[in-house]
Chains A and B, each alone.
Chain A
Amino acid sequence: MYPHERSLVEQLADKPFALIGVNSDRDLESIRAIVKEKNITWRSFWNGPQGTGGPISTEWGVTGWPTIYVLDAEGKIRYKNVRGADMDEAITKLLAEMGQEVELTHAASLPTGSKQSTVRQRRRGGGGSASVQ
């Protein structure tokens, strides 16, 4: 996830785009260290010391990690749980609605390999996900 997200943030730096995290790690000190170590350049809300049981994820009914919402410029929820190439497509469409044409390309060194193969990596499941209870 991180390399794809970092790539998005870099490519869209001068566009009306923001990647906002809601971090659900319990320990603030260790997540700060990870942010530095893994070069996580985007801002995150902290879900609090209860981790996945924190107030933000609870209010939003999030039970799987990661969970993605894509909002348009009006703040309207337009997509949910899009990953990889699907996320790129969602972002491209929403920026196009604002008259911003972008073409996203990612380095072949992304962990999932080609852009096509990232499409298959959608939804929950896979090593990186977790759930409450």
Chain B
Amino acid sequence: MRSVCWVVAVMVLVGGCGAPDQPGPDVSDKDAGSSKETRPLSPEEQFEQLNLDYVQAVEKAGDEDGLQSPTVADQYAGKFLELASAHPESRTAFASLNWVAVFAKDPALQNQAIDQMVANHVDNVGLSRLNMQMAQKPLSDESDAQLTTMIEKSSDESIRASATMALARQLSSVPEDQQDEERIKSLYQSVVDQYTSQPRMVAAASQALAKFRFRIGQIAPEIDGEDLDGQAFKLSDYRGKVVVLDFWGDW
């Protein structure tokens, strides 16, 4: 991989495409000026190059979606992780880690990336988008810890809110009788109480909270309606009886 970068670097310089280099000769980079042919790619350029290489590798494997090439994705995930750890605080690092979180097939690689995003980029708003994806995933000890850290450490409301929603969703993905109902409820409640700047999430959280009223063990909420002949009646009219409530339709 590294050799590819160098080749491209050389081509760019020789071709003289007027790459938007840093202006002025006095660049802090130690290697600047040491060798004209071997200017190292900036982290951004390395990221772009890795992306291109990945696309080519996937195309070569005859699989444009990359869906059938988990090994290729994981192989590149390793390279993106390397790039990220070379410049851990940079935007490129975040983009690289995000690439791994999204494209890697191996959960261990994904977790490694997300752990680093949480450790070094807890205020990067890109985490909000990641959290929407996290919400769809099954609960694990790792994701629980990652999302909890975001909720505790991030100074950005959209990140804290989306992490709270994602964690509540993950906790809700296990069968109903195994759920930590109190924890799920308090997470949704905290979104409603604390994140008024995120109206869509507040709406989703209150909707989720409402569903708890219809769980086993709860007193059934009242139904005050009309029968098929237009006569008014209530569900509570049947207190004192065992009631089978059947949502039905003849179709």
Residues of A bordering B, CB below 8 Å: 1, 5, 8, 15-25, 28, 31-32, 34-35, 38, 43-47, 51-52, 56-57, 59-62, 65-80, 87, 91, 94-95, 98, 130
The prevalent SS among residues of A at the interface is: mixed
- Specify the chain A residue showing the minimal Cβ separation from B215: A77
Q: A75-B236, A77-B216 are in contact. Are A31 and B227 (CB under 8 A)?
A: no
Check if B225 sits within 8 Å of A45, measured CB to CB: yes
CA distance A75 to B218 in the complex (A): 8
Contact (Cβ within 8 A) A73 B242: yes
The answer to whether A46 and B228 have CB atoms under 8 Å apart is yes
How far apart are A31's CB and chain B's nearest CB, in angstroms? 6
B245 touches A91 (CB 8 A): no
Q: Is the CB of A75 within 8 A of B244?
A: no
Q: Please state if A5 and B246 are interface contacts (CB–CB under 8 Å).
A: yes
A-B contact pairs, 26 of them (CB 8 A): A5-B246, A17-B243, A23-B248, A24-B248, A25-B249, A31-B228, A35-B228, A43-B227, A44-B227, A44-B248, A56-B223, A62-B247, A65-B247, A67-B246, A69-B244, A70-B243, A71-B242, A71-B244, A73-B239, A74-B219, A74-B239, A75-B239, A78-B217, A91-B242, A91-B244, A98-B242
From known contacts A75-B219, A75-B239, infer whether A87 and B249 are also in contact, taking CB-CB under 8 Å: no
In the assembled complex, the Cα of A101 lies from the Cα of B82 at a distance in Å of: 70
- Decide if B226 is an interface residue (CB 8 Å cutoff): yes
The prevalent SS among residues of B at the interface is: mixed
The number of chain B residues with a CB under 8 A from chain A is 33
| 3 interchain residue pairs of minimum CB distance | A45-B225, A24-B249, A71-B243
B250 at the interface (CB under 8 A from A): yes
Which residues on A sit within 8 Å (CB–CB) of B227?
Answer: 43-46
Q: How far is the CA of A87 from the CA of B218 in the complex (A)?
A: 19
Q: Which residue of the partner chain, among A19, A34, A56, A60, contacts B250 with CB atoms under 8 Å? A: A34
| B216 touching A78, Cβ below 8 Å | yes
